[in-house]
């Protein structure tokens, strides 16, 4: 029997997590199952798309069954099925999209295609049940770095984005270069705790044109050049020091951009989102920036920062309220941009 509440089954398979969740009214997470493939991809130093798709196929049925069972619900109590349809790896996305279509069609439920980046933003609605647009949001993940003004639940204006590597990508590449392995973000964070950030000063790149745009490939190259220079001179280095100096540079650039945007937009709320938002150093520095400016700081719990399906259920709910349901021809869109609809 359906209730007055809106109960959504959400599915996420855009990269290396197979995830399903049941979310009520966009904010109340009844279950959040995440089957990570990280240990598998660690062997290869990064995500192998072919392996990711195969593992999603093997795991998705069970992950969905677990999400329904943990939420103590069945398909006939649901109101809709939401699924990430982009951006991401095409083969990985297709598994979730095909599964969501099959379930929604068989159960006679509306299908909602969700943009993964909008999902990351919506993770903030789970954390803070009172947060409402408008607010300024920085999304920092493995594939995306976006500074946006969220003007409504289904609308945002992009102030800046990375012109090359995403912030998380830079963490992953630098971690590989200093021998920390995959996934780089959490390993750099851990190493940086016992490192000395003042061992070297890495450049904070400015992008000409839009002051809100980011560039991280220059920073990554500066780290690689520094390591080459040391090795050519037969000098040893402490990876923890490099990790600390690199992390400080990334956090510095991100905080400067946010501070500038807060001054200009006068937004009373700021939210962090995406996998890199689980970084403790970034969270506390952003919190300080906000405190100085009397801005309320929001950030999802780390489990809702990295890829999960609950955030897709949150974004899916607001799309559903807005009547943004998808047709049965919904397809994976690997290069889907923020604000773009299929």
Q: How far apart are CA 72 and CA 70, in angstroms?
A: 5
Which residue's CB is nearer to Zn ion, number 248 or number 307? 307
**Range in contact with ligand KG4 (rule: CB under 6 A) among 56-64, 156-164, 168-176, 221-229:** 168-176
With beta carbons less than 8 A apart as the criterion, state whether 249 and 202 touch: yes
Beta strands in the chain (DSSP E): 7-12, 17-24, 28-36, 80-86, 111-115, 135-140, 145-152, 155-161, 269-273, 296-298
Interaction of residue 184 with ligand KG4, rule CB under 6 A: yes
Which residue's CB is nearer to Zn ion, number 6 or number 141? 141
With beta carbons less than 8 A apart as the criterion, state whether 52 and 38 touch: no
**Range in contact with ligand KG4 (rule: CB under 6 A) among 137-145, 146-154, 264-272, 330-338:** 137-145
Q: How far apart are CA 119 and CA 304, in angstroms?
A: 10
What would the x/- binding string for ligand KG4 be over residues 5 to 24, using CB under 6 A?
----------x---------
Least distance to ligand KG4 from the beta carbon of 3, Å? 32
Using CB under 5 A as the binding rule, the residues of this chain from 124 to 183 that contact Zn ion are 141
Interaction of residue 113 with ligand KG4, rule CB under 6 A: no
Q: How many residues bind ligand KG4 (CB under 6 A)?
A: 19
Using CB under 6 A as the binding rule, the residues of this chain from 291 to 320 that contact ligand KG4 are 306-307
Where do we find the tokens 């904010």? 27
Interaction of residue 274 with ligand KG4, rule CB under 6 A: yes
Helix or strand run (H / E) with residue 326: none
With beta carbons less than 8 A apart as the criterion, state whether 269 and 298 touch: yes
Which residue's CB is nearer to Zn ion, number 49 or number 110? 49
Structural tokens at position 95 = 């598994």
**Range in contact with ligand KG4 (rule: CB under 6 A) among 22-30, 50-58, 147-155, 276-284:** 276-284
With beta carbons less than 8 A apart as the criterion, state whether 59 and 18 touch: yes
Interaction of residue 307 with Zn ion, rule CB under 5 A: yes
Q: How far apart are CA 301 and CA 150, in angstroms?
A: 20
Least distance to Zn ion from the beta carbon of 94, Å? 17
Interaction of residue 165 with ligand KG4, rule CB under 6 A: no
CA distances from 218 to 28, 164, 170, 172, 225 (A): 41, 9, 10, 15, 10
Interaction of residue 278 with Zn ion, rule CB under 5 A: no
Which residue's CB is nearer to Zn ion, number 109 or number 139? 139
Q: Based on the number of CB atoms within 10 Å of its own CB, is 189 exposed (0-12), middle (13-18) or buried (19 or more)?
A: buried
Q: How far apart are CA 186 and CA 270, in angstroms?
A: 23
Structural tokens at position 164 = 């090359």
Which residue's CB is nearer to ligand KG4, number 26 or number 168? 168
Identify the residue among 160, 183, 239, 316 touching ligand KG4 (CB under 6 A).
183
Identify the residue among 159, 278, 313, 317 touching ligand KG4 (CB under 6 A).
278
Q: How far apart are CA 166 and CA 161, in angstroms?
A: 9
**Range in contact with ligand KG4 (rule: CB under 6 A) among 5-13, 178-186, 217-225, 329-337:** 178-186
Least distance to Zn ion from the beta carbon of 101, Å? 22
List of residues contacting Zn ion (CB under 5 A): 141, 307
Residues that bind ligand KG4 (CB under 6 A): 15, 141-143, 168, 171-172, 183-186, 189, 274-276, 278-279, 306-307
């Amino acid at each position: 029997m359906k209730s007055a509440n809106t109960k959504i089954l959400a599915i996420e398979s855009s990269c290396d997590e197979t995830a399903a969740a049941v979310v009520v009214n966009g904010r109340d997470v009844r279950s959040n199952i995440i089957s990570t493939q990280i240990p598998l991809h660690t062997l290869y130093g990064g995500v192998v798309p072919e392996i990711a798709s195969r593992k999603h196929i093997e795991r998705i049925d069970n992950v969905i069954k677990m999400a329904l069972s943990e939420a103590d619900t069945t398909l006939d109590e649901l109101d809709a099925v939401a699924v990430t349809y982009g951006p991401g790896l095409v083969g990985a996305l297709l598994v979730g999209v095909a599964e969501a279509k099959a379930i929604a069609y068989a159960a006679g439920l509306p299908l909602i295609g969700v943009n993964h980046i909008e999902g990351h933003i919506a993770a903030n609605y789970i954390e803070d049940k009172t947060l409402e647009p408008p607010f300024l949001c920085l999304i920092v993940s493995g594939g995306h770095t976006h500074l946006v003004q969220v003007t409504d639940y289904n609308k945002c204006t992009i102030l800046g984005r990375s012109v090359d590597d995403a912030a998380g990508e830079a963490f992953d590449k630098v971690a590989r270069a200093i021998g920390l392995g995959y996934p780089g973000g959490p390993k750099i964070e851990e190493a940086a705790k016992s490192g000395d950030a003042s061992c070297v000063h890495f450049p904070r790149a400015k992008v000409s044109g839009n002051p809100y745009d980011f560039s991280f490939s220059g920073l990554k190259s500066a780290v690689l050049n520094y390591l080459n220079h040391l090795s050519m001179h037969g000098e040893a280095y402490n990876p923890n020091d490099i990790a600390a100096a690199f992390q400080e540079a990334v956090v510095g650039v991100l905080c400067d951009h946010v501070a500038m945007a807060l001054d200009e937009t006068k937004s009373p709320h700021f939210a962090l989102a995406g996998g890199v938002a689980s970084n403790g150093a970034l969270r506390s520095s952003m919190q300080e920036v906000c405190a100085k400016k009397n801005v309320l700081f929001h950030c999802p719990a780390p489990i809702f920062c990295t890829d999960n399906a609950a955030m897709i259920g949150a974004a899916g709910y607001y799309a559903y309220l807005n009547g943004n349901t998808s047709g049965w021809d919904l397809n994976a869109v690997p290069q889907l941009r923020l604000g773009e609809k299929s």
